[in-house]
Amino acid sequence: MTEKLVIVGNGMAPGRMLEHLLEAAPGHHDITIFNAESRVNYDRIMLSPVLSGEKSFEEIVIHGDGWYERHGIALWKGHRIIAIDRDARTVTSDHGVSERFDRLVIATGSVPFIIPVPGNDLPGVLTYRDLDDVNAMLLAAQARAKAVVIGGGLLGLEAAAGLNERGMDVTVLHVMPTLMERQLDPAAGHLLQAAIAARGIKVITKANTKAIIGNGKVEGVELADGTIIPASLVVMAVGIRPNVALAKEAGLTVNRGIVVDDRMVTSDPSILALGECAEVGGRVYGLVAPLYEMARVAAAGLAGDGSRAFVHSDTPTKLKVTGIDLYSVGDFADGDDREEIVLRDASAGVYKRVILQDNRVIGTVLFGETADGAWFNDLTRRKTDISEMRDTLIFGQSFQGGAKQDPLAAVAALPDDAEICGCNGVCKGKITGTITAKGLTSLDEVRAHTKASASCGSCTGLVEQLMKVTLGDAYNPAAVQPMCPCTHFGHDDVRRLIRAKGLKTIPAVMQVLEWKTSCGCAKCRPALNYYLVADWPDEYADDYQSRFVNERVHANIQKDGTYSVVPRMWGGMTSAKELRAIADVVDKFAIPAVKVTGGQRIDMLGIRKEDLPAVWADLGEAGFVSGHAYAKGLRTVKTCVGTDWCRFGTQDSTGLGIRIEKFMWGSWTPAKVKMAVSGCPRNCAEATCKDVGIICVDSGYEIHFAGAAGLDIKGTEVLGQVRSEDEAIEVIVALVQMYREQARYLERIYKWAKRVGVAEIRRQVLDDVERRARYFDAFVFSQRFAQVDPWSERVSGKDKHEFRPLELAGLGAVVES
């Protein structure tokens, strides 16, 4: 018999609880969620990267709409619960929806504290708690005006850094003498202030806000000493309070938070509470690690396992501002019974302080160099006697036992229960055990199966070291190595920072990201050129000198130094006129070899480089454009004859192939893309080994992707089935655009899909209709600026929009000049 479970709130804690519950007791609960926000569950930890531009909202979604549908969970978005009737065991939303429960989980989170000063309700005064706040700040940032952030804690500094990245003139006001005084000692707070100021953010400490001034809107902030700071935006980030109003009205025991026992059960045995609204052991929590531990405990109890109990542990503090490394955990206050060991390296900007009590580490503050944070935290948690390592303790784990150890040896020496990911409470043993048991080889796979480094990401380096220790020579770190010797950044970081910092030229990228060479190399320049073309299609001028020779001359160089030219034949179809034009070019330029390719086109081989412009001029006069047989782009859409001629054909595969090719040709992609459309499951066009393939069936179109038939042989994955040609094109275009936005340069679709996960791609492209539409629109927009064949364009006298037949019948998507 299923139990009716109702959850009030849909934040990170109840989301994690559901993951554990569905794993431990699948099908045992009929679940309904009421969420005051009108959206799905997302990672609030990553709101700061969304504000700064380093991530989009879509990238921080934890559970999309499809996840709830697959698990049979009813999600009422935009419904705030206004009443709990404990006698009738019902909840009622502000839209009048009532739901009965057997068990109820309250996860109402917290509310931001608003300092009680005049003007705190003026338009332009915001808090920083959810996506609505971020969207409001992003809107305000478009004016590039002045902003004041009140509060120099974690959220305040992350908000300030994000607004600064968006081009605002930002001032931080903090009432205490140093920043983050609850997490850092004064010395580290001083270094942090200097690092924040170096970014162009003004910091005023000992700043007591008297009033927010303005006539009908925010115009400035007045301090107690009479100083007035002009501002059109004021962000209050001075703390949070547990949101307990609903529980209090229902008669539950409430103190600072909703009082629960160590099983997360309230004063009513049928009601649980977890997250920022809960008070357990006299404490309330705002960091994610203890909230996730609450989720584990609550899930175990709901699944019938009452043995798991919540135990308090100190949680490390980390600041999510790119380029500022700090780590703090434990008790670092002064005391007569305490000793400290301090290391300062002013030139390197490094500060380390370890607090000891009875030869045991009780607190750690690290700034500038934080790699040993997990090790110091493990010493604290185990209450390890450090007497024998006292002289070298401050230098970190690698220096223990005499000479400096290999960092991998130090990681290998960590015990299995050493905590690696503080956000998700993942220990070393779980990571290494999962890698071995499931044969994981990539960081993304480890994240997907263990959650390690999947939240704030600060433990990523440690997770990668564990992978190296576990896999040895079998570990392929290509995904985390620098993209080339010219930089210490990997592909993902380079692309992220290009977007976040608004870098729109290759010299700008190299300057801001501190390239080690003056002009880059043959590996990084083509990659940077692609990332800039893809991210800024309307602003970046394609740098042809950063492309490979084949792309520059629109032909493939051969082993004897000559070139081959492949004109495009839409869907493999041709005509007598086109064939005559090809024959004339072959005769005119004495081309020695002509071959039908595997992609249903004609290849002319042995052309001299100096003849290429004239060859393309003649082909252009006949209406040909490049087949891009050399390109990191769409090459071919192979088709069979389908219903036009074949007695087995179920759909017009040739027509669909031509529509796809005409819609998508000419746009650069991270690597080459080959497609095929087969008119029936007999699969004559070999669609099941292509980057994207379509199998026509009686009921519609089965879409495949991530196949390979080169050095690697791999059948495709099934993305899903759609009913119409229009929907098939929309899904395929969205899939390719997602690949264009997320893949690393030269990474084929099948490798990208393995790294990202087929389920995640299916979720974004099929399950999330709004996101699919965004990808589709982004591709259509980029097509306005896509590459064309320079010779045929010049000869034909047509601009690229006339030259590019992009009408998509039924969807109304016409790319206009």
Q: What's residue 402's pLDDT?
A: 52
Both tokens assigned to 752: 């990208």
What is the number of structural domains in the chain? 5
Whether residues 534 and 590 fall in one domain: no
Task: Kindly report which listed range (439-453, 594-608, 749-763) carries the lowest average pLDDT score.
Answer: 439-453
Q: What's residue 144's pLDDT?
A: 80
Whether residues 540 and 555 fall in one domain: no
Q: What's residue 420's pLDDT?
A: 83
Whether residues 586 and 619 fall in one domain: yes
In a domain, 337, yes or no: no
CA 355 – CA 340 distance, rounded (Å):
4
Q: What's residue 479's pLDDT?
A: 46
Whether residues 651 and 779 fall in one domain: yes
3-state DSSP assignment of residue 106: strand
Whether residues 733 and 602 fall in one domain: no
In a domain, 421, yes or no: no
Among all chains, which residue has been given the structure tokens 């939303």? 93
Whether residues 75 and 11 fall in one domain: yes
In a domain, 325, yes or no: no
Q: What's residue 88's pLDDT?
A: 96
Q: What is the mean pLDDT of residues 212-232?
A: 94
pLDDT digits over 262-282, tens only? 999 999 999 999 999 999 999
3-state DSSP assignment of residue 809: coil
Whether residues 526 and 619 fall in one domain: no
At 385, the amino acid letter reads: D
Range(s) of the domain holding residue 151: 125-238
Helix (H) or strand (E) holding 569: none
304 — pLDDT class (breaks 50, 70, 90): very high
pLDDT digits over 196-219, tens only? 998 899 999 999 999 999 999 999
Task: Kindly report which listed range (239-253, 508-522, 538-552) carries the lowest average pLDDT score.
Answer: 538-552
Whether residues 640 and 762 fall in one domain: yes
Q: Is the pLDDT of residue 797 over 60?
A: no
Whether residues 46 and 102 fall in one domain: yes
Whether residues 199 and 171 fall in one domain: yes
Gyration radius of the chain over CA positions:
30
CA 567 – CA 569 distance, rounded (Å):
7
The mean pLDDT of the chain is: 87
CA 329 – CA 364 distance, rounded (Å):
5
804 — pLDDT class (breaks 50, 70, 90): very low
pLDDT digits over 29-61, tens only? 999 999 999 999 998 888 888 898 878 888 888
Whether residues 66 and 97 fall in one domain: yes
Q: What is the mean pLDDT of residues 559-573?
A: 90
Q: What is the mean pLDDT of residues 301-329?
A: 85
CA 49 – CA 468 distance, rounded (Å):
28
